[in-house]
Structure 1
Amino acid sequence: MKRTLMRPGGLPESASTPVVTPIMPSVVYASETPDRLDDQYEGRTEGYTYAREGHPNADVLARRIDAMEAAPQPGLVLGSGMAAVTAVLLGLCKAGDHVVGGDQLYGRSLRMMRDDLPRLGIDTTLADPTDVTAVAAALQPNTRLVLIEVVSNPTLRIADIDGIAELCREKGVLLVVDNTFTTPRAVQPFALGADVVLHSVTKLLAGHSDVTLGWVAARDASLSKAIYDFAVTTGLTPSPFDCWLAERGLMSFDLRFDRAEATAARLADHLAAQPMVKRVLYPTRPDHPDRARAQGVLQGRGCNMVSFELDGGRDAANAFTKGADQIAFAPTLGDVGTTLSHPASSSHRALTPEGREKLGMTEGFFRVSVGLEDPDALIAAFDAGLAAVAATK
């Protein structure tokens, strides 16, 4: 009987190629000789060595998102959206630097700004990204970068990205944009002056609540290398299977985004007409506080997120979620199904009640990530929740 080694290596040859990207879970890759391995590490040839440093499924996904964002340099897929935020902030900053962040960033980004960066010797300041004068006032001589979201989470305010980008250019400060909410379907931040763009791929891009991934790309190759080196050193590696699932999700991204956006606009208008609703925030509505800027930045798009505030505080919030029991009450966004989030008890719970109130996040405030349901059925589900609120009065 012919005996073979445990790992003989090599794949069967084929004159054809697979239509679907194969899943490549291998952690390690064999090289022919030490000289060939040197060639890979020193950039004379392309190849993989160890999955923490890169693997095929991550690169396939990165290339797809790179094209969507028109990224000037190849992007990097990481293990989560917060891994992307971390790789940028800690890969590009050092002790003694200063960072300015939008005052309505995602809750964990805010926590990093408030607790983690100062602990590492990096000073931080939060400023209103809708007001370029506030951002300018927050800058210091040692400011390294400004981190904003185009549309804030969860109050859907529109950053003055044109003004902030011009300010950053004048001051020699990097502009980092989290484009998770808006996605490249609505905004391409590199075209607006961003130096670094990042995503939580977990959300709208993958779109099915079954992967946890992030993506980041930079305008300058030296920035890309600094982010990559930190991510590889600290092991912010994405799963090949998650990358494969996210690539599959991207195939339907445009269709999903457009359908959810159309339903979101209709839901926003419906909620605004209900007596139990104090206010509704949606970028294309005439009563949105930043509507003029939204028209320019988003080019008339509204995206899939709607926020609204109930009259009645926490009691009304509890009644609503019980009554709207067909809608998943879950702190996420971008799924094929609509999800309902209550920032005061989830994403922004670390803020004080006074801090949330100042930003407009009361106990009756909800954020909705609109999915792909039939619009009439979705509105009926919201009406059931509102009816439950009314029954408590």
Structure 2
Amino acid sequence: MSTVVRRMPWPEGTARALGTPLQPSVVYGAESPDALDAIYEGREAGFTYAREAHPNAEVLARKIDALEGLTGGLVVGSGMAAVTCALMGLLKTGDHVVGADRLYGRSLRMMADDLPRFGIATTLADVTDADAVRAAIRPETRMILVETVSNPGLRVADLDAIAEIAKGQGALLVVDNTFTTPRSIRPAEHGADIVLHSVTKLLAGHADVTLGYIAATDPELTARMRVFATTLGLTPSPFDCWLAERGLYSFELRYDRAEATAALLAERLDGLPGVRRVLYPGRPDHPDHARASDLLQGRFGNMVTFEIDGGRPAANRLVRAAEQIAFAPTLGDVATTISHPATSSHRALTPERREALGLGEGVFRVSVGIEPAEMLCDEFEAAVRAAARE
């Protein structure tokens, strides 16, 4: 006797799940060709194939939309997938894009190596200096790409001035808001046309997902990027979307706790033997402190960068001494992590290029987590002192 297991409708009832259901289905059935047409043409809500859209991605996107004050954003497979949607989904051969000279390492690589292969010209400029950005503009400039606060140097873009430059040129201003998050700033309220995130980082916040988000103030631009993402298969995992949505519920609590600890850590690091410099936008000695105070309204974030003397040998000693702090090329976990840009985010750059950006062998970037502040500061102080001993 044979037994046949058939697909069954999802059970319905008068109560509904408090938590968002995880929906890993790749395909969705429609009741007729007319119903499928209605979904594809946007006359009816629904899903067809997970590469194009799925419920968990839509739920997550709407929540990030609400944080950023935007509508219709899309979630993609990674932060770099979001960068790709903007640069390659909207630009064409013959266009020119101006990028910040202190972008995330892979964004810099795309600007330097990948876009030119497709006939898209690029120029890097110091986005803390509006005149430098203005000087980089060409008649064919169609886009300006900046990070609100740079990775890992924590320099603050002159966002309002750059927005005016972009508007005057008729170029799109794309802002990577990963470091600052909408807890510090909503770039669209400062003239950004497109806002993107590596959701992997602070928004999801638990180092267990890989996702990106991108949205434009113009729905037509978002629609073009959505088609591009679908065509290239930049599809996010339903499970990752489900995890990231769960992470969002504690986002503000995590951010506020980590931010307060970051300010304390920056103060404790300053003046320790062997520490050459400490970079934190909330410190009066930060080169962009005045702009950060105005632009970010006192929300200086959870990232601290510092540099020690002694080059690679001292860097190795510091990491080995910081046994309780994960040495990992990421940020935004609930636990503090420390990274070394020369061997992680910016390793693709030449040593000379890294030195020009101020990213020598002694530079570390700290993504502060939610541990007890005094405990964390004590651990860093012990590690820095160990690094100073030869």
Shared fold (TM-score greater than 0.5)? yes
* Alignment partner of 1:183 out of 176, 181, 187: 181
Aligned to 1:168: 166
Residue 188 of structure 2 aligns with an amino acid whose one-letter code is F
2:23 is aligned with 1:24 = yes
SS in 1 for 2:385: helix
- Specify the alignment match of 1:152 in structure 2: 150
- 2:67 — aligned with what? 68
Whole-angstrom CA distance in 2 between matches of 1:151 and 1:331: 18
Q: Which amino acid is 1:158 matched to?
A: V
Distance 1:378 1:74 in 2: 40
Q: Superposition RMSD on alpha carbons, in Å?
A: 1.2
Cα offsets for 1:164-207 (capped at 9, x unmatched): 00111111010000000000000100000000000000000000
CA-CA distance at 1:313 after TM superposition: 1.4
State the TM-score, normalizing by the size of structure 2.
0.98
Letter in 1 for 2:157: A
Please state whether the residue corresponding to 2:51 is helix, strand or coil: helix
Superposed, which structure 2 residues align to 1:1-393 within 5 Å? 6-7=6-7, 9-71=8-70, 73-392=71-390
Q: Structure 2 counterpart of 1:242, which letter?
A: D
SS in 2 for 1:287: coil
One-letter amino acid of the structure 2 residue matched with residue 346 of structure 1: S
- The offset of 1:5, in angstroms, is 5.7
Larger deviation: 348-357 or 122-131?
Answer: 348-357
Once the two structures are TM-superposed, the CA of residue 130 in structure 1 deviates from its matched residue by 0.2
CA apart distance, 1:277: 0.5
> 2:388 and 2:358 mapped to 1: Cα distance?
23
Spell out, residue by residue over 1:118-146, the C-alpha distance to the aligned partner (whole angstroms, 9 max, x if none).
11111111100100111111111111100
Question: Aligned partners of 1:389 and 1:209: how far apart in 2?
Answer: 27
Q: Work out the number of aligned pairs and report it.
A: 390
Whole-Å Cα distance in 1 between the matches of residues 19 and 237 of structure 2?
18
What amino acid maps onto 2:6 in structure 1?
M
Contact 2:175 2:187 in 1 (8 A): yes
Q: Does the 8 Å CA contact 2:268/2:381 hold for their aligned counterparts?
A: no
Q: CA deviation at 1:384?
A: 2.0
Runs of 4+ in 1 over 3 A off after TM superposition: 1-5
- Give 1:32's aligned amino acid: E
What is the deviation of 1:3? 6.6
**Aligned partners of 1:3 and 1:384: how far apart in 2?**
66
Q: Deviations over 1:225-252 (max 9, x none)?
A: 1100000000000011000000000000
Deviation at 1:83, TM superposition (A): 0.6
Question: 2 CA distance for matches of 1:2 and 1:49?
Answer: 32
Instruction: Measure, in 2, the Cα distance between the counterparts of 1:354 and 1:81.
Output: 27
- Counterpart of 2:65, as a letter, is D
Q: What CA distance in whole angstroms lies between the structure 1 residues aligned with 2:374 and 2:316?
A: 23
Q: CA deviation at 1:10?
A: 1.2
Q: Deviations over 1:231-277 (max 9, x none)?
A: 00000000110000000000000000000000000000000121210
Q: Residues 323 and 387 of structure 1 are in contact (CA less than 8 Å); yes or no, is this contact kept in structure 2?
A: no
Contact 1:68 1:184 in 2 (8 A): yes
Q: Secondary structure at the match of 2:359?
A: coil
Aligned-residue offset at 1:155: 0.5
What is the alpha-carbon distance in structure 2 between the residues aligned to residue 372 and residue 179 of structure 1? Answer: 21
The Cα offsets for residues 77-107 of structure 1, whole Å up to 9 and x where unpaired, read as: 0010011011111110011111111001111
Give the drift of 1:2.
Answer: 11
Q: Which whole-Å CA distance do the structure 1 matches of 2:17 and 2:371 have between them?
A: 33
- TM-score normalised by the chain length of structure 1: 0.97
- How far, CA to CA, are the matches of 1:287 and 1:363 in structure 2? 22
With 333-342 and 312-321 compared, the bigger mean Cα shift is at 312-321
- Cα distance in 2 for partners of 1:296, 1:225 equals 33
Structure 2 stretches lacking a partner, 5+ long: none
Amino acid at match of 1:290: D
Identity %: 65
CA distance in 2, matches of 1:290, 1:358: 18
Deviations 1:313-369 (CA, angstroms, capped at 9, x unpaired): 112111111111211111000000111111111111111222111111111011000
CA displacement at 1:387 relative to structure 2: 2.2
